[in-house]
Structure formats: structure tokens, C-alpha cells
Structure 1
Amino acid sequence: MTFQGGGPLDTGNVSGGGGGGGVGRIALGGGAGLVITLIALFFGIDPGSITGGAGTGTSANSQNSSEIDAQIRSCTIEKANTDDICRIVATTNSLDQVWSEQMRGYTPPNTKIFSGSVNTGCGAATSATGPFYCPADSTAYFDPTFFAQLKQMGGSDGPLAQEYVVAHEYGHHVQNLTGALQKGNRMGSQGPLSGSVRVELQADCLAGVWAYHSDKGPDAMLEPLTQDQIATVVQTAKAIGDDTIQGANSNPEGWTHGSAQQRVRWFGTGYESGDPRRCDTFATNDL
């Protein structure tokens, strides 16, 4: 368990989706998804043709948007401890609570929980895309089946690890509000010091800031976090580092998200300080 208390969740900014078209070009801001998928998306290639996944349509086990919507509306804090969709919803509630306190002028993003495929302001996407944030429609997109895929990649499917994925995408929304996302887009999509790597590492740091504040104060939604729970985030951050995914022959010139060590380091910077000002990955080349 990570969430404490009981009662309904605020679902006003969360909706279900699914059944959209094939994959188009997704803007910078893809989160913890497969690096190979993100590279494909940068060049307008259907990632399904690379990963073996379907490029269009929905999976055999997919839910339609009305089914997902019904599940979202039934979510409670209690269900968030056992149900992936409700855990996403509860995490968005916690994130909005924390960021409204930490950032002047914060406005919540929308969140769409989809199955199979979805149309977005940045183009169409499928489950193969992984979680991502679209700045064009200020929406974070999640297909819950990604969590099982993340575990296959060597990450954790523990509750806090899943919440880290959501917090990372919300980090991109914070960047969209501050202008950091736009700055990163102007600095290139590949390379160890590229805008993409700086954006992704900063989003990890901002996820750490959320984790620091998520269990503090009388209205905190999360129970006190344990070191074992933090370890599941570290495990996940390592699993989705560029060098981990690309293997022994990893070439930093092709990086889009940063190394495993960098991702862990920047999450830790945010988590240990709780200060978003410590997350300025654009102010240093020591990433």
C-alpha cells in the first residue's frame, strides 16, 4: 500500500480513451517508454514495425473508452492500492496537490488512460509508445499495460515505481509551464548533452520532488515512504536508462533519456532536496 485514507478521488481531469488511429509523430516529452520507440517517433516511423507490436488498432485485451471511463469514475483511494487505473488517478490527485503548493501559477494537466491506441494533439499513438506527455493538448497519456512491460525490462511494477512513471510525465507538464520543454526541443533530440536528455533528467528530478512532498503534511495522500519503496524507483530508473536498454554497445551520441546512473542521480536530487530549483539540468554539463 502507498495511499492512505479512504473515499472518492477527483476524476475531473482524467478520462478514458482508446481506438484511435495509427502512430504519428509524437513531440518531445515522451517519458519512460522504450528508447527505441521514442527514437522511431522522432523520425516519424511506426514503432510497431521495430518492436513487433501492432501499429494500428487495439489489442485483443483492450478496453474501449467507455469501459475505462466507468472504471475511472468508480475509483476510490482504497482501490488505488490494488488497481492500476485507480493508482494512476490517485497519483494525479497527489501530484496536483503537491505542484499547486510548489509552483506559483500551476495549472493541472489532463490525463487520458487509454487502451490499444489513441489520438492526441501530438499525433496518434499505440500502447507501444509507452507513457508520454503531449504539450499540444497539455495531456499525459498512459496505457496501464506498460507496467507489465516495464517489469519485463527489468524495472519494478511496485506501486511507487508505477507512481514514479506518472510523476515523470507530470514533470513534463511542469516543464511545459516553465518553458523548459520548449527550450529542450530547440537543443536537439539525441546526444549526451542534448535537449532531450536534459528534459528527461529534469523530469526525473521533478518526480523526485513530488516523492519528497507526497507523504508530508496533514493532507498527504501517501503513507510515509520506505527505503524499500524508493528502491523500486531506483530499480526502474536503472532499467530505462539509455545505456541499459541499448546494452554494451551503447553510443552516447544516440541517447535521448540519459544513462541509468544519471536517471537515478537526478531522481535522487529531487527526492533528497524536495526543491524544484535543484532540478536545473540546463545549467550544467555535468549531467
Structure 2
Amino acid sequence: MSFNDDARLDSNRVKDSRGHRGAKIAAGGGGILVVLLAAIFGINPDMLAQLGLGGETPSEQTATGAPGIAECKTGADANARQDCRILATTQSLDSFWLSYLPKYNVKVAKPGVEIFSGRVDTACGPATSAVGPFYCPGDRVAYFDTAFFADLQNNYGSDGGALAEEYVVAHEYGHHIQNTIGTLAASQQGGTGANSGSVRVELQADCFAGMWAAYAAQTKDANGNTFMKPLTESDLRSALSAASAVGDDRIQKAATGRVSPEGWTHGSAAQREAWFLQGYKTGDINKCDTLSSRNLNKPGA
């Protein structure tokens, strides 16, 4: 989903800590705490290790003299650079959610957003890039390492389109919305498995991402310019390819050669696609009630 070239970006909206590394993390330490406490988009680091992924190589943006987030000024920059795209997507999400939730008498504050490389310290504990993008409810911040997007395409099978990346940002923002309305806590209920609280929370965040996609072309910057162009069929395929690529069944199959639903924490590829589409087609937060759904394979059933 492309941004309008004249959309104005506020680089102060996102913190850029690339090149500033936190303390070294021992195996089984704070990084695992993040996995347990935060509602994480990424996959179990143990699975990533088996696939040879999730390393700590800094992204190319961390090199000396490389451009930083302060240089992200317009929608044209967002179309050209991943870090600017995170910033622009965040501002579009702000525009949507801060106008949508008050209709239900819900006050929502903007989440923090931080771009890092390698490792980062959070209120949920230190984390490495191995955990993928994640939201920490302790500090209400969504964390992104742009290196993940290369993994998403090269190793998980996403098609690499812009909306695939924007979906990731919208999903993590969705966890902040859950934290605001009180559904995020369900991720700690029911352990793991196809009907666990964790799976239900993740699928709801996918549905929320779809809601944003439905309204994204209507979101506006501070000057009244629309952030994004209307979504195309190609854009939609990109988002669905990302949602499908990180389904528990696909990751398990790639890592171990078999699928074990009892270990699921995020939902299957088909479920993640279905709930994103549920949000996109309905644009209604009431239709994203995964916590009460009797059949997670059929949204709305």
C-alpha cells in the first residue's frame, strides 16, 4: 500500500535507537521474559534457531553515516525506505485509532514506537532481534528491527510488498489497542494450543490490522493530506502473504517437519489470513471478538 508523496511525516513520533545496544543477554534470560510477557508477533526464538534465523546482525541502517529516522519527511520517503514506512504507518494508525475508539467512549493514548538493531532494553526485559517485532505492555512501546522484514520475505515466504510490512506494524499497534480495551491479558490464559488465550489475542490483533487497512486511505496527516493511496488487490495479497507466512503451522513445519497444534501461540496460516480479512471486510471492532469465538477457523460464525 503506497503512501501519497505529499503526506507529511513527524520524525519525532518514532524513537530511533539503532546503533545503541543494550547489555548482553544470557541464554534463557531477559529475551525469554519478553516472549512470555509481551504479546509478540514473532515466532518462538527456539524455532528461529533451528531455521538458522534470528541472528543479531545489525540492520544496514546502523552503519556510520547511514540515514536515520530524522530524515523521514514525506510519504515519498516512506515509499523508498523501510524505517520511514514504519513511521508513516504508525502515524496513519494514530489517525485511525484515535478517531475510531472515541466513538465507543474509549480513550486511547498513542503507543511508543522504537526502531532498534540487534538488541534493546524494554520494561519487559532486554530483547534481541530474534524475537521479531513485539509490543511490551510494561512500557506501552512497539519495537521493530527492520532486518526482520528481509527474513519475512527471504525465509518465511512473504511476497515483500509494502503492505506486508505495514501489516506487521498494524498488528503490533493492535496489541496496544488490546492493552487499552483490556483484552491483551487473555494472552496469559490457557497456556498454548489452538484454542488458547494467546492464539485468540494474536488473531484479534490480526483483525485489528485488517480494520486499519480498510480505513487507511482515509487517514490524514496534520495538514489534512491523506497518508495512503487506496488499497489494491496486490496490496491485499501482500498483507495476506505476511499473515500466512507467520502462521504457527507453517513455522512448525519448516522448523521440525511436523505440525503440533498443542504448541500454537499465534494461530495457523489460514486463521491469520481469515481474521485479517474479517477486520478488512467489516471495519468493525465488534466483529473482531476472537475471545468469544466458537470457531476460530470461521470468523463471524
TM-score (ref. length: structure 2): 0.84
Mapped to 1, the partners of 2:193 and 2:203 lie a distance apart of 13
RMSD of aligned residue pairs (Cα, Å):
2.3
Mapped to 2, the partners of 1:66 and 1:178 lie a distance apart of 41
Cα offset for 1:52? 4.7
Q: Does 1:280 align with 2:289?
A: yes
For 1:210-237, what per-residue CA distance to the aligned partner results, in whole angstroms no more than 9, with x for missing partners?
0000013675311011011101111111
Amino acid at match of 2:119: S
Cα offset for 1:73? 1.2
For 1:232-276, what per-residue CA distance to the aligned partner results, in whole angstroms no more than 9, with x for missing partners?
111111111111111262111110000111001000000001111
The equivalent of 1:253 in structure 2 is 262
Mapped to 2, the partners of 1:108 and 1:66 lie a distance apart of 31
Amino acid at match of 1:9: L
**Cα contact 1:8–1:75 (8 A) shared by 2:** no
Mapped to 2, the partners of 1:61 and 1:174 lie a distance apart of 28
Mapped to 2, the partners of 1:231 and 1:61 lie a distance apart of 26
Cα offset for 1:127? 1.2
Bigger CA drift: 58-67 or 114-123? 58-67
Shift in alpha-carbon separation, 1:51–1:121, aligned structure 2, 3 A: farther
Amino acid at match of 1:116: G
The equivalent of 2:6 in structure 1 is 6
TM-score (ref. length: structure 1): 0.88
* Within-5 A mapping of 1:198-237: 198-216=200-218, 219-237=225-243
Cα offset for 1:178? 0.6
Cα offset for 1:67? 6.8
Shift in alpha-carbon separation, 1:114–1:282, aligned structure 2, 3 A: same
The equivalent of 1:44 in structure 2 is none
Amino acid at match of 1:239: A
Bigger CA drift: 8-17 or 195-204? 8-17
Mapped to 1, the partners of 2:218 and 2:63 lie a distance apart of 35
Amino acid at match of 1:99: W
Mapped to 2, the partners of 1:111 and 1:122 lie a distance apart of 15
Count of residues in correspondence between the two structures: 273
Which of 165, 170, 177 is the equivalent residue of 2:168? 165
Cα offset for 1:135? 0.3
**Cα contact 2:12–2:70 (8 A) shared by 1:** no
The equivalent of 1:72 in structure 2 is 69
Q: Does 1:270 align with 2:283?
A: no
Shift in alpha-carbon separation, 1:103–1:8, aligned structure 2, 3 A: same
Mapped to 1, the partners of 2:140 and 2:219 lie a distance apart of 28
The equivalent of 1:188 in structure 2 is 190
Give 3-state SS (helix, strand or coil) of 2:157's partner. coil
Give 3-state SS (helix, strand or coil) of 2:280's partner. helix
Amino acid at match of 2:183: A
The equivalent of 1:16 in structure 2 is 16
The equivalent of 2:299 in structure 1 is none
Mapped to 2, the partners of 1:241 and 1:178 lie a distance apart of 25
Structure 2 residue runs of 5 or longer lacking an equivalent are: 26-30, 297-301
Give 3-state SS (helix, strand or coil) of 1:140's partner. strand
Bigger CA drift: 192-201 or 244-253? 244-253
Which of 129, 133, 147 is the equivalent residue of 1:131? 133
Amino acid at match of 1:73: A
Mapped to 2, the partners of 1:263 and 1:237 lie a distance apart of 5
**Cα contact 1:113–1:141 (8 A) shared by 2:** yes
Q: Does 1:155 align with 2:158?
A: yes
Cα offset for 1:154? 0.7
Mapped to 2, the partners of 1:10 and 1:227 lie a distance apart of 29
Shift in alpha-carbon separation, 1:89–1:116, aligned structure 2, 3 A: same
Cα offset for 1:7? 5.2
* Within-5 A mapping of 1:16-35: 16-17=16-17, 18-21=20-23, 22=25, 23-26=31-34, 27-31=37-41, 33-34=42-43
For 1:142-194, what per-residue CA distance to the aligned partner results, in whole angstroms no more than 9, with x for missing partners?
00010000012111221111000000000000000011001332x13411111
Amino acid at match of 1:106: V
Mapped to 1, the partners of 2:53 and 2:238 lie a distance apart of 27
Shift in alpha-carbon separation, 1:279–1:159, aligned structure 2, 3 A: same
Mapped to 1, the partners of 2:32 and 2:72 lie a distance apart of 31
